[in-house]
Chains A and B, each alone.
Chain A
Amino acid sequence: MRIALIALLLAACSPTVQVQAPDKPIVIDLNVKIEHEIRVKVDKDLDKSVFAKDSPLF
């Protein structure tokens, strides 16, 4: 009888494990119209300046 009671209490206390799927990453709607070649160049320019490795601006 005691074992049944303990078992019941343990069951009541067992934590439910919830697996949360990661949220979708935030994507900004840019609506940018730009030729691919120019975009590649702009990307490089940004990587050399604002987003450079030790840049104080980012």
Chain B
Amino acid sequence: MSDETRIDLMQGTLDLMVLKTLQAMGPLHGYGLARRIEQLSDDALRLNQGTIYASLLRLGERGLIASAWGTSDNNRRAKFYSLTRAGRRQLEAQTQSWKRSAGVIGRLLKLTPETD
């Protein structure tokens, strides 16, 4: 995949992706999350994997996710993150608002120039 077709992450969307991924896949560690997000976007997303931790910390502080140490598939100690109830509610609310704004932007982009 050439660099031109990869997209930069929109500000503030990473949190939503993390929440959604955790909801869909269940508890995951940081690397797992990063990997999943990349895979789900067919590697179209340019993700500096370190930034996922800023997002995890932000969400943790707000009580939207919980974390606990566990063991990964290949027997490595890793911290696992999971969605809390507040996280679920937040995801729902954000999904709605995301869909609405995406719809508006989509309609706007479909506008064709009027010809006289």
Q: Do A and B bind each other?
A: no
A interface residues with partner B (beta carbon < 8 Å)? none
B interface residues with partner A (beta carbon < 8 Å)? none
